[in-house]
Chains A and B, each alone.
Chain A
Amino acid sequence: MKKDIYIFNGGRLVRKDNTLLFESVEGKKYIPVNNIESIYIFGEVDINKSLLEFLCTNEIVLHFYNYYEYYVGSFYPRECLNSGFVTLRQSEFYIDYVKRLFIAKQFINGSAKNIIQVLRYYNSRNADLSQEIEEILQTLELLNSQETIEQLMAIEGNIREKYYKCFNKIISDKAFTYTSRSKRPPKDKINSLISFGNSILYTIVLSQIYQTNLDPRIGYLHSTNNRRFSLNLDLAEIFKPIIVDRSIFSVINKKIITSKDFNKDLGGIILKDEGRMKFVKELNDKLETTIKHPSLENKVSYKRLIRLEAYKLQKHITEGEVYEPFIARW
């Protein structure tokens, strides 16, 4: 499986013959190009056109983050797997509101069911969450009768708010108490971790969509907007609970990340570089964890599952194979 590269330091990323070279005060580092899927840039890194051309030929996606707002944008080389047929179908399923609504519901369904799986796990261990699980299940029952995307969004917001409150029963460290969701900037440590984790997941999903014929600009739950990628936000909903949130619980409960890893800045709480590195490592370990796949008969990593999810959606729109979201089994 191809690897992802994360650059936290400042420096210069250039093409050097047929490899990539990263130069920083700490020295030179060569990165063979054929084994990379995506590059995530956090530091102040200089790049040039010849590098972009090189990444383009090698079909490598580049994601940029900045200190305050996290995600800046991506260099998404012109689609390598272009299929006019798939793009047309994808648009058709967006324009036809009934078709669009069905897909959007499936995303929320998947997201909520994975939330419940996460809660059930902690419920069976040390946190009493049966009441919350019950409430979320009840809210979810309303999903099917909804007729607009806005109503779906409201249900999802409702579920998420209940879910985030559960974090206080799962996380033992009181320094990470959750009160309410705040984004730009995050007002406390837990919000800061949620925002950071989600923004990384969005780009990981984007890189996986790049390997399919789907156009990331056409989303179904998050409305399509010419300037922005949105399908990755849709697919990420399904994986947030099982990838991002579980990583948050482990970095805090195992004390990998503590209060010392945060900075107070511009009225918000921001993870320091050190903390980001530790969190990204945890996320990566999670993404590389393999589980047994029911229909593929072999083990697949969580990262691969994201790709498979995109394939399933692609088949839903091209082959009429009803899309069922991935639900974790524990």
Chain B
Amino acid sequence: MEVNGTLIWYYNICKREVWLMSRNIVPDQHNENIDLGKFLHENSFSRKKKEISFGSVKFDVILDTKEKLVIGETKKSSRYEEASKWQMIFYLKTLRDAGIYAEGVMLYPEEKRRDEVLLDSSSLKMLNEMVNEINLIMEKEEPPKAQKCKYCKNCGYFEYCYA
């Protein structure tokens, strides 16, 4: 399985999720308490005109000047801040590989916050390390053991992990 934006997202939430997803062991989709559904819904919700879509994830094209493109993502809360940021960086890299230079911005209107996301040499280095680690996790025969973290409570794998 090739590393994609979704795996980058999961990696930053829980490494165990990466392995489970890679084996097609999908979370409980009927459980209303889970955030995954919300995450996908929030992102696949069809917005106005300009948007860039990567599979089920869509970004707004915020500003398109001659030399750069800014893609933005609006979030209800900063709960999954790190995961969203790295996912955005991954997509910025995908765009760059295609010859498109872009910058990102995460918007949290309810928290009156706005974070710039840049693809610079340090974030690129970290992203590459992440991709390597994700590949290592996926190669393992068994998944990393479940470890209680702040994401467990709303995770679609909760019952699976702790049954």
Point out residues on A near B: beta carbons under 8 Å. Answer: 2, 37, 81-86, 211, 213, 295-296, 304, 307-309, 311-312, 314-315, 318-320
Given contacts A82-B24, A86-B23, A86-B25, contact A320 B142 (CB under 8 A): yes
In the bound complex, residues from chain B placing their C-beta under 8 Å from that of A85 are 23-25
The stretch among B68-76, B100-108, B126-134, B155-163 that forms the contact with chain A is B155-163
The number of chain B residues touching the other chain, given as a range, is 10 to 19
Q: CB distance A2 to B30 under 8 Å?
A: yes
In the bound complex, residues from chain B placing their C-beta under 8 Å from that of A84 are 24
In the bound complex, residues from chain B placing their C-beta under 8 Å from that of A82 are 24
In the bound complex, how far is the Cα of B161 from the Cα of A312, in angstroms?
Answer: 9
In the bound complex, residues from chain A placing their C-beta under 8 Å from that of B142 are 318-320
User: Does B37 make an interface contact (CB < 8 A)?
Assistant: no
Return 6 A-B CB contacts under 8 Å, by A number.
A84-B24, A211-B30, A296-B162, A309-B163, A318-B25, A318-B142
In the bound complex, residues from chain A placing their C-beta under 8 Å from that of B145 are 319
* Cross-interface CB contact of B159 among A37, A308, A319, cutoff 8 Å: A308
User: Does B28 make an interface contact (CB < 8 A)?
Assistant: yes
Q: CB distance B159 to A296 under 8 Å?
A: yes
In the bound complex, how far is the Cα of B30 from the Cα of A307, in angstroms?
Answer: 13
Given contacts A319-B142, A319-B143, contact A312 B28 (CB under 8 A): no
In the bound complex, residues from chain A placing their C-beta under 8 Å from that of B23 are 83, 85-86, 318
Point out residues on B near A: beta carbons under 8 Å. Answer: 23-26, 28, 30, 142-143, 145, 158-160, 162-163
How many contacts A-B (CB < 8 Å)? 47
Minimum Cβ distance to chain A for residue B151 (Å) = 15
* Cross-interface CB contact of A296 among B26, B28, B163, cutoff 8 Å: B163
Q: CB distance B163 to A308 under 8 Å?
A: yes
CB-based nearest B residue for A321? B145
Given contacts A319-B142, A319-B143, A320-B142, contact A312 B163 (CB under 8 A): yes
In the bound complex, how far is the Cα of B161 from the Cα of A311, in angstroms?
Answer: 8
Minimum Cβ distance to chain B for residue A183 (Å) = 32
Q: CB distance B163 to A83 under 8 Å?
A: no
Q: CB distance A83 to B25 under 8 Å?
A: yes
CB-based nearest B residue for A82? B24
Minimum Cβ distance to chain B for residue A34 (Å) = 10
* Cross-interface CB contact of B163 among A2, A311, A318, cutoff 8 Å: A311
In the bound complex, residues from chain A placing their C-beta under 8 Å from that of B159 are 296, 304, 307-308, 311
Minimum Cβ distance to chain A for residue B56 (Å) = 17
In the bound complex, residues from chain B placing their C-beta under 8 Å from that of A318 are 23, 25, 142-143
Name the residue among B142, B145, B160 with the largest chain A CB count within 10 angstroms.
Answer: B160
In the bound complex, how far is the Cα of B25 from the Cα of A318, in angstroms?
Answer: 10
In the bound complex, residues from chain A placing their C-beta under 8 Å from that of B160 are 311, 314-315
In the bound complex, how far is the Cα of B23 from the Cα of A168, in angstroms?
Answer: 50
In the bound complex, residues from chain B placing their C-beta under 8 Å from that of A211 are 28, 30
In the bound complex, how far is the Cα of B28 from the Cα of A304, in angstroms?
Answer: 12
Minimum Cβ distance to chain B for residue A78 (Å) = 14
CB-based nearest A residue for B144? A319
In the bound complex, how far is the Cα of B25 from the Cα of A83, in angstroms?
Answer: 6
Minimum Cβ distance to chain A for residue B152 (Å) = 10
Minimum Cβ distance to chain A for residue B25 (Å) = 5
Minimum Cβ distance to chain B for residue A133 (Å) = 29
In the bound complex, residues from chain B placing their C-beta under 8 Å from that of A37 are 30
In the bound complex, how far is the Cα of B9 from the Cα of A278, in angstroms?
Answer: 49
Minimum Cβ distance to chain A for residue B148 (Å) = 10
Minimum Cβ distance to chain B for residue A124 (Å) = 29
In the bound complex, residues from chain B placing their C-beta under 8 Å from that of A311 are 159-160, 163
Known: A295-B162, A296-B159. 7 other contacts (CB 8 A): A83-B24, A83-B25, A296-B158, A308-B163, A311-B160, A318-B25, A320-B142
CB-based nearest B residue for A304? B159
Q: CB distance B163 to A81 under 8 Å?
A: no
CB-based nearest B residue for A313? B163
In the bound complex, how far is the Cα of B23 from the Cα of A85, in angstroms?
Answer: 6
CB-based nearest B residue for A307? B159
